[in-house]
């Protein structure tokens, strides 16, 4: 049950909010959230509901025992349990997400006929397993205390706003929110606005742009005109940001409605001046997870190594970042691609970039970002060459497959509007309006109402489209 589905908007969410606000708050707050999250998950994926409950119990019990040993200064006893807990989380993720990929890769290399019927991927598995690992490691590193209340812990691990696509949270980031009093009305209103903004990004921008880009990426690349190829790439660059940041906006908005402050996941990544800057702005909670739980420990463990230590650690982290996104070689190569660029920037290129004019820094970053999306979107590696050839005009501008022939000219104005929403000035303008209040704020709220109506109308007319990151 995605956040942008009509069942969620008009059935699930109203019932949840009514119960959340009318029942005794201090007693029922987290219980309602847990039950609602289990219903939310089970609505779409009932077969994996026992797995989700099992992961809750596993991480809770391991956390309690590890915390007990640490409280009694028995770190030697806590350490193996920490490793077991982390490995169990990882093995669950690996089994469901990567078994088929590994077996198929072995079969291709060894020329073997291996038949394997892959298990359906549990919804949100990459997100709730990473949240579980973060919780265990924070307890072991003594940055957090083990949570004794299983309901409160369950709220952290599986709360429905972030269950399927994040943001990836640490327990300490939302612990206070799980304890505090009822949401402040102003925060609730702000949450509604944020939710509508995310819904509009998804329904009015990302989905229509996606219809156009799908036509291009499903076409024959050997006959694809350069204009169509460039629109496809630009369109997908916009689509994936508007789609994923739209989900994040909706999740953060839902959190505000119930008094929780979820971490931001995007900071206008397409205004970056380098690839290093891009990964500080794109999917920030994933970047923070890999930095805190992999990169920094690697740096510490390999502190005696001096030759290219940082660069090799970056490559390891981004190889795994690529794998996290999907069990296929194109994601692996996509991760290595960004890892190599980041390693080069860390070796000195980053300092040189800062000496260039700002517009050249932006051009450098967006060009490499868009090239990276080719590897991400075109999943068949053998098609990379034909698509890049089309981009470079190898097939010419006037071919059998053009923007006009594919009937995607309609989507160009939508894409232009999408560009506007990739820039920060709208947010800055709204903040100024909010500070003034009065009539300008009222007009802005009327605009939000119009956007909500248009978004619902679009979903009714075109049907529901799954979020891109739901597959990860």
Active site residue ranges:
325
Buried b (16+ CB within 10 A) or exposed e, 423-443: eeeeeeebeebeeeeeeeeee
For every residue of 405-450, DSSP letters joined together read: TTT-TTHHHHHHHHHHTTSTHHHHHHHHHHHH-HHHHHHHHHHHHH
Q: Alpha-carbon distance 416 to 405, whole Å?
A: 20
Q: Alpha-carbon distance 350 to 76, whole Å?
A: 42
In DSSP terms, which residues pair with 273 in a beta bridge?
A: none
Backbone phi and psi for residue 53, each to the nearest 5 degrees, phi listed first: -65, -40
Q: Do 136 and 59 meet the contact criterion of CB atoms below 8 Å apart?
A: yes
Q: Alpha-carbon distance 432 to 442, whole Å?
A: 13
Buried b (16+ CB within 10 A) or exposed e, 178-192: beeeebeeebbebbb
Q: Alpha-carbon distance 146 to 136, whole Å?
A: 8
Question: Which of 24, 38, 18 is closest to 257 using CA atoms?
Answer: 18
Q: Do 379 and 333 meet the contact criterion of CB atoms below 8 Å apart?
A: no
Q: Which SS3 state, helix, strand or coil, does residue 282 take?
A: coil
SS3 content of the chain, % helix, strand, coil (to 5): 75, 0, 25
Question: Which of 471, 23, 465 is closest to 213 using CA atoms?
Answer: 465
């Amino acid at each position: 049950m995605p956040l942008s589905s009509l069942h969620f908007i008009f059935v699930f969410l109203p019932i949840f909010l009514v119960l959340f606000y009318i029942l005794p708050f201090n007693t029922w707050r987290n219980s309602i959230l847990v039950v609602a999250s289990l219903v939310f998950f089970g609505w779409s994926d009932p077969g994996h509901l026992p797995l989700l409950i099992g992961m809750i119990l596993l991480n809770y019990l391991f956390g309690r025992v590890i915390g007990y040993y640490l409280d009694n200064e028995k770190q030697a006893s806590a350490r193996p349990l920490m490793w077991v807990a982390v490995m169990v989380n990882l093995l669950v993720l690996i089994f469901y997400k990567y078994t088929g990929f590994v077996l198929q890769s072995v079969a291709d290399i060894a020329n073997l006929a291996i038949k394997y019927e892959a298990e359906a991927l549990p919804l949100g598995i990459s997100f709730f397993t990473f949240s579980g690992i973060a919780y265990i490691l924070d307890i072991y590193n003594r940055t957090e205390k083990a949570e004794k209340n299983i309901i409160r812990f369950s709220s952290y691990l599986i709360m429905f706003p972030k269950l399927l696509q994040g943001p990836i949270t640490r327990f300490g980031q939302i612990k206070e929110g799980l304890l505090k009093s009822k949401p402040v009305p102003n925060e609730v209103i702000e949450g509604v606005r944020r939710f509508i903004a995310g819904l509009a990004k998804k329904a009015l921008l990302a989905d229509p742009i996606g219809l156009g880009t799908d036509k291009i990426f499903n076409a024959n690349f050997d006959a694809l005109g350069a204009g169509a190829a460039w629109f496809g790439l630009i369109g997908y660059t916009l689509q994936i940001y508007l789609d994923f940041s739209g989900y994040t906006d909706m999740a953060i908005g839902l959190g505000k409605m119930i008094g929780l402050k979820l971490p931001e996941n995007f900071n206008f990544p397409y205004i970056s001046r380098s690839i290093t800057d891009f990964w500080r702005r794109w999917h920030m909670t994933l970047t923070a997870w890999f930095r805190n739980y992999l990169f920094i420990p690697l740096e510490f463990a390999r502190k005696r190594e001096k030759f290219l230590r940082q660069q090799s650690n970056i490559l390891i982290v981004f190889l795994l970042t690529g794998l996290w996104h999907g069990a296929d070689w194109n994601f692996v190569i996509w991760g290595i691609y960004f890892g190599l660029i980041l390693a080069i920037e860390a070796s000195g290129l980053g300092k040189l970039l800062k000496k260039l004019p700002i517009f050249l820094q932006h051009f450098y970053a967006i060009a490499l970002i868009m090239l990276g999306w080719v590897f991400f979107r075109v999943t068949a590696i053998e098609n990379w060459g034909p698509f890049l050839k089309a981009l470079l005009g190898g097939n010419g501008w006037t071919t059998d497959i053009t923007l006009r022939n594919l009937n995607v000219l309609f989507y160009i104005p939508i894409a232009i509007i999408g560009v506007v929403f990739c820039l920060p000035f709208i947010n800055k303008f709204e903040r100024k309006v909010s500070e003034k209040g009065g009539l300008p704020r009222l007009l802005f709220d009327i605009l939000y109402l119009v956007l909500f109506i248009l978004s619902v109308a679009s979903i009714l007319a075109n049907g529901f489209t799954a979020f891109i990151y739901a597959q990860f």
